[in-house]
């Protein structure tokens, strides 16, 4: 599933929260996007701007570049308010809320590298879980009652079968990154129960890929990429000589691991409650197939 479509779904999910009903000519409002300079966040910011909403972005820029936000503003023909803030800095976050008084939050901020999370679990729990706690507490203190949380299909762990849908059990995660997303989901569920006025939507993604149709924004991580597609893209443009494929004894026709060829399964709520429709596709391309397909595309 492309990031542009994911951005549209995030806006749609926000529109479905019962306190807002943003569609059908409802008033425009102010949305704070945490992690809005990142890959999916930047595409969502562009969709929000295109829909006429005021956007405030907070991002610590640990894995993103302000050039991306500049291009978003160029594409939209509008500016956003940007604050370089780490969600662990609760005082700075509170100052942003006091200045802009956002109606809603879309929360993309967090670390996302599975391997790094195994090596640095404390960092992942500090950034992902502590950051979410600070964000939700600040929201409640400021009277902001609407949040869309960017979760992950890693909350399903290793599902017994595919395709995966929202009825599958969650919590049997295999790494600290996945657990951080699962913990955040549970935190939001518990807070929503204790604060009925809080409207929460959870989005679960399977490895999103792609870029904006303009080609001006896409996935451009700092340092060594943690996902397959940025590696392939860097080989295609000459940044890297080759793609290294690890493993040749997987139960696939060429022995290499498989990845979804159209990673959909975005889970979103367009109405209130906890209905999160969507599913994984259950089929994919082996790594060598994926590489050949990508590098041979015009």
Bridge partners (DSSP) listed for residue 31: 55, 104
Closest by alpha carbon to 5, among 189, 288, 180, 266?
266
Taking the C-alpha atoms of residue 192 and residue 175, their distance in angstroms, rounded to an integer, is 26
Yes or no: say if 71 and 96 are a contact pair by the CB < 8 Å rule: no
Instruction: Specify the residue for token string 């800095």.
Output: 89
Angle at which helix 39-50 crosses helix 66-76, to 10 degrees, equals: 20
Residues marked as catalytic: 177
Yes or no: say if 21 and 48 are a contact pair by the CB < 8 Å rule: no
Closest by alpha carbon to 6, among 36, 44, 45, 61?
44
Q: How many CB atoms lie within 10 A of CB 282?
A: 12
- Say how many CA atoms lie within 13 Å of 261 toward its Cβ: 12
Taking the C-alpha atoms of residue 77 and residue 72, their distance in angstroms, rounded to an integer, is 8
Which tokens go with 209? 């890929």
């Amino acid at each position: 599933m492309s990031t542009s479509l994911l951005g549209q779904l995030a806006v749609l999910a926000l529109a479905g929260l019962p306190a807002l009903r943003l569609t059908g000519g409802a008033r425009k409002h102010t949305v704070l996007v945490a992690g809005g300079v990142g890959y999916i966040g930047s595409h969502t910011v562009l969709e929000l701007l295109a829909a006429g909403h005021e956007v405030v972005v907070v991002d610590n820029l640990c894995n993103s570049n302000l050039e991306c936000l500049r291009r978003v503003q160029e594409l939209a023909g509008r500016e956003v308010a940007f604050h370089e803030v780490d969600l662990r800095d609760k005082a700075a976050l509170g100052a942003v809320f006091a200045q802009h008084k956002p109606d809603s939050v879309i929360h993309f901020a967090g670390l996302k590298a599975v391997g790094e999370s195994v090596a640095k679990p404390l960092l992942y729990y500090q950034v992902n879980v502590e950051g979410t706690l600070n964000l939700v507490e600040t929201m409640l203190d400021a009277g902001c009652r609407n949040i869309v949380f960017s979760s992950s299909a890693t909350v399903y762990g290793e599902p017994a079968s595919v395709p995966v849908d929202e009825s599958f059990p969650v919590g049997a995660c295999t790494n600290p990154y996945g657990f951080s997303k699962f913990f955040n989901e549970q935190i939001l569920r518990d807070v929503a129960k204790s604060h009925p006025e809080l409207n929460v939507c959870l989005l679960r993604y399977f490895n999103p890929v792609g870029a904006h149709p303009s080609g001006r924004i896409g996935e451009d991580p700092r340092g060594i990429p943690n996902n397959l597609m940025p590696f392939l893209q860097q080989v295609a443009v000459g940044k890297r000589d080759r793609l290294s494929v690890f493993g040749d004894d997987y139960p696939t026709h060429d022995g290499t691991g498989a990845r979804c060829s159209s990673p959909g399964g975005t889970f979103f709520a367009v109405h209130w409650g906890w209905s999160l429709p969507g599913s994984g596709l259950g089929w994919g391309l082996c790594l060598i197939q994926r590489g050949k397909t990508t590098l041979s595309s015009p």
